[in-house]
Amino acid sequence: MSAAFKVLRTRDLVISVPSDRGPVAAVRGLDVQVARGETLAIVGESGCGKTLTALALAGLLPEGVKVTSGAVELLGEDVTALDDNGWRAQRGRRIAFVFQDPMAALNPVLRVGEQIVEALNAHQQLSAQQAREEALALLKRVKLPDPAQSFSAYPHQLSGGMRQRALIAIAIANRPDILIADEPTTALDATVQAEILQLLQSLQRDSGMALVIITHDLNLVARWADRVMVMYAGRAVEDRSADSLFDGSLHPYTRALMAARPHRRPKGAPRPRLAEIEGRVPSADQIGLGCAFAGRCEFATPRCEAASPESLRVARGVVWCHAVNEGRLGLDLAMKALA
């Protein structure tokens, strides 16, 4: 990926959260890269650091949570140390965010149209009539069935899928270079989920924006992402093209996640029991020097607990695992790693 085409990039990002013993690193040494027109999915269990990472990329970390080292670059510009005013100038224009719960993200006492107009006025000089026309065009672009009615509606008067579309309209109002969507389909039924993802893909195709999707849904990732970063306990463990990851995941944690996916019921047979990953994700203040997954990994050795694995270039990506590096996961995986 040429540096000229990287819309978003982090270098050795560390995000610290407060604790009784002082700040502890909840995200450690993360390198994220997203190219124009690319869809990156960041996946992992709850508590792995996905959402913290997403919030840091948009300068939205909650009070007390800070980027303590590393850098965030947006269109080649280091934005790590921006203050609130600096981030407000970036958000909406260069980078936009779609939150998981549109009912919480939308202002309940303002009509949907007013909120879109507010987003437009934050970065553009438009007359009241121009702003209204642009807002209506945006509502039509996100395929709300009656843009004029939706413009005048309050958030509670719309369905969940319609609220999510309205939130996307606000996010794309100023044609951002990158859109971050945090679990954008969690509260929606399967049909509406597909519609929202098709909408995001269509908007991306039309504008060339980069897209980062935060999710725990690997089935969603398989269909919509170009590249997948798997996170565990605040670190990336595998970062590869979606095709190569689903063709043969390498890290034991990624393999365990794949095995834990729901599968179709075999014809004439009972539904298979879901695989489980024994143990729990360690909290930020429980992580030692080694691989955080070592306590749950069947391939772990004393070295895994003593030293953090180095990155290893593999087929169309990177993996961080001593067992992969040392060829301890079997011939099939060794051959994939060398591909």
Q: Kindly report, residue by residue over 263-277, the tens digit of the pLDDT.
A: 677 777 777 777 778
DSSP 161-212: HHHHHHHHHHHTTT--SEEEEESTTTTS-HHHHHHHHHHHHHHHHHH--EEE
Distance (Å, whole) CA 70 – CA 138: 36
pLDDT at position 3: 45
Please check the confidence at residue 70 and state whether its pLDDT lies above 90.
Answer: yes
Report CA torsion sign: 225, 284, 235, 296.
negative
Place 2 in a pLDDT band, splitting at 50, 70 and 90.
Answer: very low
pLDDT at 193: 84
Write the pLDDT tens digit of every residue in 195-231: 888 899 999 999 999 999 999 888 888 888 999 999 9
* Amino acid residing at 52: L
* Most confident among 146-150, 279-283, 311-315 (mean pLDDT): 146-150
282 pLDDT more than 90:
no
Which range in 46-50, 197-201, 231-235 is most confidently predicted, on average pLDDT? 231-235
Please tell me the predicted confidence (pLDDT) of residue 329.
Answer: 74
Mean of pLDDT values over 189-195? 83
Q: Among 77-91, 96-110, 320-334, which stretch is predicted with the lowest mean pLDDT?
A: 320-334
Which residues are registered as beta bridge partners of 17? 24
Determine if the pTM surpasses 0.85. Answer: yes
- What sign results for the dihedral spanned by CA atoms 251, 36, 41, 305? positive
What radius of gyration do the chain's Cα atoms show? 21
Place of tokens 């990156």: 40
Q: What is the pLDDT of residue 179?
A: 96
Q: Is the pLDDT at 331 greater than 90, yes or no?
A: no
Element (H, E) at 295: none
pLDDT score of 1? 42
